[in-house]
Amino acid sequence: MRIANSLSLADPADDRSIVSTRADPGSRMEALTGVRYIAAALVVLHHFVPVSEATDPIVRNFLKVVGDGSVSVFFVLSGIVLFHSNVTLQGRLKKTKRHFWIARFARIYPVYALGILLIAPLSVHQILSSHPNATNYLPRLIVYPLSAISLLQSWTPWTAVAWNGPAWSLSVEAFFYALFPLLIGIASLSRRTCLAIALSSWALASAIGMAPFVLWGDAGSVFGGIFFQAFPPLRLPEFIVGLILGILIRDTALPDAARSALSLVAVASLTAATLFAPWWAYRFFSLPCIGLLLFGLTSSGGILTWVLKTRVLVSLGAASYSLYILHVPVFGYLGLIQDSLSFRPLGPVANVFFGLALLTALSVACHRYLEMPMAGWINGRLASRPGQRRDAPAVDGATAEASLRARMS
C-alpha cells in the first residue's frame, strides 16, 4: 500500500443531526450523508487499486490524488456538521463542553477500538517480520498500539500510520474536537471577517499541501510527507473552512436553484481537478470546489441533491465511518484468506470492488449493531451526571427560518 494512501479519513458526523426533518432550514444537509459514503469508497479505491493497473496517466493521477481529496472533504464536512448540530443561533454550545466531548468520544471510539483490535495480529506480524531484533520490535510493539489507543499517533510521523494507518485522521479529529468550543467564537464575527478567515485558511492549506514538494521534490520524503499530511495543527485550516461554511449555510438566504447550480459547477470542477491537477497543487484547486459543493448540496432540490438523499445512499453514508475504520483490516484478512486458498478468480481491480461490496455490508451491520448502540450506552453512562446543561430548547423549522431571515434583513 502506498505511503500516501494511508492518509485518508472519514468523519463520524452525528447522523441524527444530518438526517432530520426537511422543515428545519439547518437540516438541508441530508445529502451530505450520501457524500460521506462516496468519499469513503474513493478512499478504499485509492488504497487498494494498484496504480500499475492504470495505463492512462489521467487515471493514475486520479488514483494518486483522490485520497487527499477525500481527506479534505471529511475535514471540511466535519466543521460544517459539528457547527450545525452543536451550536445555537446565538453562537453558543448547545451542551456543556464536557457533554460535547463525551458525545464525540461515544460516537467515534467503539468502532475505532474494534479497528485497533482487528488490525493487531496483522500489525504484530508485520513488525516482527520487519524487525527480527528484540531491541527494534519491542519498542514498536509498545509505542505503536499505545499511540493509537490514546488517539495521539498523528503527532509524530513515526507513529501516524503505524497501527491501522487510516485511523491517523481520528487523531486529527480529536484535536479538532478539543478546540471546537473555542473555535465557535468565529460565529460572532462579521460575515466579511469570516470570509477573510476562510480565504486565509484556503491559502494556508494550499501552502501546506505544496510544502513536501517544495522541500523534497516529486520523490518526497516519507516521514516529511506524513508530517505535512497528518500533523493535526496543519489540517486545522480545512476544519475552519468547514466551520465558516456552516455559518454561511445557516445565515445565507440563497435560493435553492442557485445552490443546486453551485453544486453542479463544483462537482464538475472538482472532477477536473482530480483528473488533471498535479498532486502538489491539488489542494489549492480542490478545496474551493469542495466548499462550494458542500454548500450547494444544502439545497432542497436539484438532481445531485436528490440522488444523494436517496434512502440507500443515506443509509450507506451513515455507515461510512465503520467502512473507513475497518477497510484496512478487512482487506488484509480477505487477502490472507484468498492467498491461503490460492483462490483469486477476479482480477486486481475487480477484486477491490468485491472487497468494497463485502466491506459495505459489514459496515452497515457494524453501524447498526455496534456503533449506534454503544454510542447510546456510553452517553447514557457518562453524560447523564449532575451538573450538565440541558440542550437548548428545540425550535421548529418555520420559527428558525423566520428568525434567520429577520437577522439578515
Q: Dihedral of CA 110/114/115/116: which sign?
A: positive
User: Taking a C-beta distance cutoff of 8 angstroms, is the pair 85, 394 a contact?
Assistant: no
The full set of domain ranges for the chain reads: 3-408
Q: Which residues pair with 390 in a beta bridge?
A: none
Phi/psi at 21 (5° precision): -70, 145
Whole-number pLDDT of residue 60? 83
How far is it, in rounded angstroms, from Cα 10 to Cα 331?
17
Residue 396 has pLDDT above 50, yes or no: no
How far is it, in rounded angstroms, from Cα 298 to Cα 263?
9
CA-derived radius of gyration, the chain: 21
Q: At 408, is the pLDDT very low, low, confident or very high (cuts 50, 70, 90)?
A: very low
Q: How far is CA 404 from CA 2, 165, 249, 408, in A?
A: 47, 43, 11, 6
Residue 23 has pLDDT above 80, yes or no: no
User: Taking a C-beta distance cutoff of 8 angstroms, is the pair 166, 325 a contact?
Assistant: yes
Nearest to 232 by CA among 296, 288, 176: 176
How far is it, in rounded angstroms, from Cα 164 to Cα 173?
16
Whole-number pLDDT of residue 18? 42
What does the pLDDT average to over 178-189?
94
| pLDDT, tens digit (0-9, with 9 covering 90-100), for 370-389 | 999 999 999 998 876 654 44
**What pTM did the predictor assign?**
0.85
Residue 236 has pLDDT above 90, yes or no: yes
What does the pLDDT average to over 334-359?
90
How far is it, in rounded angstroms, from Cα 6 to Cα 363?
19
Residue 58 has pLDDT above 60, yes or no: yes
Number of neighbours of residue 311 by Cβ within 10 angstroms: 7
Give the cell for residue 187.
460565529
Q: At 164, is the pLDDT very low, low, confident or very high (cuts 50, 70, 90)?
A: very high
How far is it, in rounded angstroms, from Cα 122 to Cα 108?
22
In the block, cell 437548548 appears at: 392
User: Taking a C-beta distance cutoff of 8 angstroms, is the pair 201, 237 a contact?
Assistant: yes
| pLDDT, tens digit (0-9, with 9 covering 90-100), for 88-114 | 988 899 989 999 999 999 999 999 999
The Cα diameter of the chain in Å comes to 70
State whether residue 238 is helix, strand or coil. helix
Q: At 15, is the pLDDT very low, low, confident or very high (cuts 50, 70, 90)?
A: very low
Residue 133 has pLDDT above 90, yes or no: no
